[in-house]
Amino acid sequence: MSSWEAVIGLEIHAQLATKSKIFSGASTAYGAAPNVQASLVDLGYPGVLPVLNREAVRMAVKFGLAIGANIARRSIFARKNYFYPDLPKGYQISQYEKPIVENGRLEIVLEDGSRKTIGITRAHLEEDAGKSLHEDFHGLTGIDLNRAGTPLIEIVSEPDMRSAKEAVAYMKKIHTLVRYLEICDGNMQEGSFRCDANVSVRPVGQEKFGTRCEIKNLNSFRFVERAINYEIARQIQVLESGGTIQQETRLFDPDKGETRALRTKEEANDYRYFPDPDLLPLVLDDEFIESVRRTLPELPDEKAARYVEQFGLSAYDAGVLTASREMGDYFESVVAKLNGHAKLAANWVMGELSGALNKENLDITQSRIDPTRLAGLLARIVDQTISGKIAKDVFEQMWNEGLDADTIIESKGLRQITDTAAIEQVIEAVMAAHPKQLAEYRSGKEKLFGFFVGQVMKQTGGKANPAQVNELLKKKLAG
């Protein structure tokens, strides 16, 4: 049987973090009572006119600059026509022929450490639709139009991805980027960041793309991966059993872990785009674009490269620490307070701290240990007051009890024993208590060295300085 290659492109919808809607002065705040943030413009009343939100334009331009795209000096808005009750006008205002952002790119890092550039065809401004609630309203559907008119950018990739893993890596990278740029909160549960995946397969070596299916509304990285993997397997199975792929829209059912056809009526996808006569062309001058460029923060790739250069971190560690702006800020704050020791700080932020955060499903801004207190703990490792192993216990108490490292170290007597005489005393006691092992060791059974280290650590409650223990033990055991 021939082998198959998947071809994947993503359309990511990111809600822009404006205060008001893209074409009206209604609030975009999440979680309000139904329809209290739906103005006449959002409700599609006759006689109203949309007026474009400057901030939404700035955010789209900011995104375009961050992916090295062309920013259109002149772009136009179009009507995308379809009927659905959560779209009261009967059309969505979007951009079609001339989007605001075109021809960008983003680099992703794959699991094996290799890099791949994913092309971004375009990113256009558009309005979100409302929400339909299908719970029981006496057999009717309830419509909440608070979300109608919320600004979105739709980010359309080239069909450059070849596996579900690549698609997830790309989606995560976009997610990181929009949060760095502070143009989208990235909240996937609330629907602020979601994606449609176009998936097709073709025999390896064939240039022509296969027929694709579009999987709609994927709102978690895990679902994206599962849905794409299912869809690839489904298409291969259809083709290998002699069938053909029908171009269609499919939905992913997370409970069953499968995709199913949504609608096959081809005419349903005839949106009859035309320029919206209510909106004039959007014209941007260099001054506007440059003013946006000046607000660009250090981007994730730039930050990661700096961490490698400035702190001597590995590319992998730098990538993890720059996955969110907040994580990077936290890490740098620890390093600043610790006066260096970046590798130690990196290990603790990625290890103990991330573990504790994950366990309670917190993000780093909600950490129970702030950078100052973590630096306080790490300083005690650096000056050898405590060992790395004891530090983990101290960390746990800091996390649970909210105390700082020094208080815990003092009150529990965890200070590391670095006094040579004291350690020697313990070693002698251990040797006296285990004459048999001592004799065996001295007659060549060197493996027993570990046994003696263990005994000494046990006697000192883990507080003896491990390097000193090793050194002194060697001397004493030698006799």
Partner 1 sequence: MSLTRHDVESIAYLARLSLSDAELPAYVDSLSKILHLVEQLNAADTADVEPMAHPLADQVQRLRDDVVTEEDRREKYQRNAPAVEAGLYLVPKVIE
Contact between 277 and partner 1 by CB under 8 A: the answer reads: yes
- Could you give the string, one character per residue 390-429, with x where binding to partner 1 holds by CB under 8 A and - elsewhere? ----------------------------------------
Q: Which is nearer to partner 1, 276 or 332 (CB)?
A: 276
Contact between 279 and partner 1 by CB under 8 A: the answer reads: yes
**Which residue, among 218, 186, 152, 181, has the nearest Cα to 8 in the 3D structure?**
218
Residue 292 beta carbon to partner 1: minimum distance, rounded to whole angstroms: 13
Give the separation between CA 401 and CA 411, rounded to whole angstroms.
13
Contact between 182 and partner 1 by CB under 8 A: the answer reads: no
The token duo for 135 is 């719970």
Contact between 308 and partner 1 by CB under 8 A: the answer reads: no
Residue 135 beta carbon to partner 1: minimum distance, rounded to whole angstroms: 10
Contact between 54 and partner 1 by CB under 8 A: the answer reads: yes
The CA-to-CA distance between both ends of the chain, in Å, stands at 71
Residues 255-274 that bind partner 1 (CB under 8 A): 262-263, 267, 270, 272
With tokens 């939100």, the residue in question is 53
Contact between 144 and partner 1 by CB under 8 A: the answer reads: yes
Per-residue b or e along 319-357, where b marks 16 or more CB atoms closer than 10 Å to that residue's CB? bbbbbbbebbebbbbbbebbeebbebbbbbbbebbbebb
Residue in 7, 48, 52, 350 binding partner 1, rule: CB under 8 A: 52
**Which residue, among 139, 126, 141, 136, has the nearest Cα to 89 in the 3D structure?**
126
Contact between 192 and partner 1 by CB under 8 A: the answer reads: no
Contact between 281 and partner 1 by CB under 8 A: the answer reads: yes
Give the separation between CA 15 and CA 183, rounded to whole angstroms.
8
Q: Which is nearer to partner 1, 125 or 427 (CB)?
A: 125
Q: Which is nearer to partner 1, 19 or 442 (CB)?
A: 19
Return the sign of the alpha-carbon dihedral for residues 412, 407, 417, 448: positive
- Could you give the string, one character per residue 64-93, with x where binding to partner 1 holds by CB under 8 A and - elsewhere? ------------x----x-xxx--------
Which of 132-141's residues contact partners 24+ apart within 8 Å by CB, and which partners?
132/84, 132/85, 132/86, 141/85
Residue 95 beta carbon to partner 1: minimum distance, rounded to whole angstroms: 11
The token duo for 49 is 């006119």
Contact between 171 and partner 1 by CB under 8 A: the answer reads: no
User: What are the residues whose beta carbons fall under 8 Å from the beta carbon of 146, sequence distance 6 or more?
Assistant: 32, 34, 35, 36, 37, 38, 130, 131
Residue 180 beta carbon to partner 1: minimum distance, rounded to whole angstroms: 20
Residue 149 beta carbon to partner 1: minimum distance, rounded to whole angstroms: 10
- Do residues 139 and 16 lie in contact, with contact meaning Cβ atoms separated by under 8 Å? no
**155 pairs with which residues across the strands?**
12, 123
- Could you give the string, one character per residue 12-51, with x where binding to partner 1 holds by CB under 8 A and - elsewhere? ------xxx---xxxx-----xxxxxxxx--x-------x
Helices (H), 315-447: 315-321, 325-338, 342-348, 354-359, 371-382, 388-401, 405-411, 420-433, 435-442
User: What type of residue is 227?
Assistant: A
Question: Distance of alpha carbon 102 from its chain centroid, rounded?
Answer: 24
With tokens 């961490």, the residue in question is 307
Contact between 219 and partner 1 by CB under 8 A: the answer reads: no
Q: Which is nearer to partner 1, 143 or 438 (CB)?
A: 143
Contact between 6 and partner 1 by CB under 8 A: the answer reads: no
Number of residues that bind partner 1 (CB under 8 A): 54
Residue in 110, 203, 257, 280 binding partner 1, rule: CB under 8 A: 280
Q: How many CB atoms lie within 10 A of CB 298?
A: 14
Contact between 181 and partner 1 by CB under 8 A: the answer reads: no
Half-sphere exposure of 258 (CA within 13 A, CB side): 6
Residue in 5, 55, 158, 329 binding partner 1, rule: CB under 8 A: 55
Q: Which is nearer to partner 1, 93 or 456 (CB)?
A: 93
Residue 92 beta carbon to partner 1: minimum distance, rounded to whole angstroms: 15
Give contact residues for partner 1 (rule: CB under 8 A).
18-20, 24-27, 33-40, 43, 51-57, 76, 81, 83-85, 97-98, 132-134, 137, 139-145, 251, 262-263, 267, 270, 272, 275, 277, 279-283
